[in-house]
Amino acid sequence: MVSQEGAEGYDCWKLALKIHELSEAGSREFESSKLLASVLRNHGFDVVEKFMGIPTAFRAKKVVGNGKPSIAFLAEYDALPGIGHACGHNLIASSAVFSAIRASEKVENGTIEVIGTPDEEGSGEWAGSKIIMADGGAFRNVDLVLGSHPGDQWNVGTQSLAVQDIEVTFRGRAAHEAASPDSGRSALDAAVLAYTAVNMLRQHVRRDVNFVMHGIIKEGGTASNVTPERAVITYGIRSTDLEYHGKLVERFLKIVEGCAMATETELSVKKLGPLFSTTKLNRALSNAVREKLLRMGVECPPTEETFKEMPKGSTDFANVTQVVPALEVGFKIAAEGTPWHSRESLEAAKSATAKDALLTVIEALSDTAKEFAENRDLRKRIADDFKDDARYK
């Protein structure tokens, strides 16, 4: 247990190491969220725990001066089941908490917040909690959202893939495969047909939308002499075009329905988790953060360059960027090419390089918050880019 007193004396590095050690998987980050909330309370923040009914979420707030504008830092603190903090979310947590603390010292006016957003990795009940928050209006009164994510490079915003995970269950009819095969209807046949048929979709889609589709046959029968009466496939369907992504999901569903019809089986479809959006990039915001990083001697590639990079994954942070100007800064804690979610990244998340990078990120983000609070022109440029959607320009 973390007591209020126990939270005293935590600096950003001690906090990052403690979260690394706690190593709590998504939706079960009870001690981690309690510790982060306690550190913020000790620095004068008002904390609401179990924010939006999510057991390990919280929202911490500190009003400075007239309280405007409102700037929120997003914390993640879920570890990967089995391996631990191999995605470095311990650093994200510490960066959010201490960027907010520093920002509250730097601004003359503003409401500085930290929102604790559990289960980014999607390993529990509250998977993709930022999506629940974005859809539930958590960012309605927020003017700017800042976050960070460690990796093998510095960057000020990259595109991400929209993704929807889908599970399809086929139900056939069991029968003796030798004595009465004619009365059996194979759910496995439907699954295999579907696996083959959805592959044919790949050729007939737009080439500019980064279409990615990955699937498995999760269940396919229990004994070879019994017609499989139940088979399950799961797929992830991804794209960088949110609108077109919806059409791809529709086409996928049409295909699996056709396979059920062809094999005289029945199907049920379940969407696994919410739709992860694409990222709405914001050039003015990215440039503002990059300028701070360059000043601190970080070799951060030009904004345009990373905007154009091929997106590698999906994140629930993307859904936040759709409702409020938001940026997740990528910071380098390991050599380029280091595999992520690995033993190497687990070590990197508590390395001396990570410590230096963390300190830099905290200064850059809190400086950005200060500039946002003070510079009306920057706020206008960020708002204009948000309206325009800087993605493809």
Q: Which is nearer to Zn ion, 127 or 284 (CB)?
A: 127
Q: Which residues, including other chains, have CB under 8 Å from residue 5's CB and lie 6 or more apart? A: none
Nearest-approach distance from CB 183 to Zn ion, in angstroms: 50
Report in angstroms how near the CB of residue 341 gets to Zn ion at its nearest.
Answer: 8
Which of 119, 363 has the CB closer to Zn ion?
A: 119
Q: How far is the CB of 331 from Zn ion (least distance, A)?
A: 12
Number of C-alpha atoms within 13 angstroms, CB side, residue 275?
Answer: 16
| Smallest separation, CB 306 to Zn ion (Å) | 17
Residue 20: which of 277, 350, 360, 370 has the closest Cα?
350
For 259, the token pair is: 């396979």
Identity of the residue, 117 or 263, whose beta carbon is nearer to Zn ion in the bound complex: 117
CB of 87 to Zn ion, least distance (A): 3
Give min distance, CB of 130 to Zn ion, in A.
12
Q: Which tokens is 228 given?
A: 């499989």
Looking at the Cβ atoms of 36 and 87, the one nearer to Zn ion is: 87
Token pair recorded at residue 222 = 């229990």
Output 87 or 365, the one with its CB closest to Zn ion: 87
Q: Report the nearest approach of Zn ion to the CB of residue 300 (Å).
A: 19
Two structure tokens written together for 368: 């950005």
CB distance 145 to 157 below 8 Å = no
For residues 133 and 141, give the distance between their C-alpha atoms in angstroms, rounded to a whole number.
13
Dist. CA 323–CA 280, nearest whole Å: 9
Please state the closest distance from residue 77 (CB atom) to Zn ion, in A: 11
CB 354 to Zn ion: min, Å:
14
Cα separation of 225 and 178, whole Å? Answer: 7
Cβ nearer to Zn ion, comparing 92 with 249: 92
Residue closest to Zn ion, measured at CB: 87
Q: Which is nearer to Zn ion, 274 or 330 (CB)?
A: 330
Any idea which residue has 């539930």 for tokens?
Answer: 136
CA distance 370 to 309: 29
Q: Identify which of residues 82 and 297 has a Cβ nearer to Zn ion in the complex.
A: 82
For the chain, what is the total number of helices (H) and then of strands (E)? 12, 10
CB-based contact 184:329 (threshold 8 Å): no
* CA–CA gap between residue 217 and residue 189 (Å, rounded): 11
| Closer CB to Zn ion, 26 or 228, in the complex | 26
Q: Are 330 and 153 in contact (CB under 8 A)?
A: yes
Q: Which residue, 302, 336, 312, is CA-closest to 156?
A: 302
Beta bridge partners of 112: 62, 71
Write out the residues near Zn ion by the rule CB under 5 A: 87
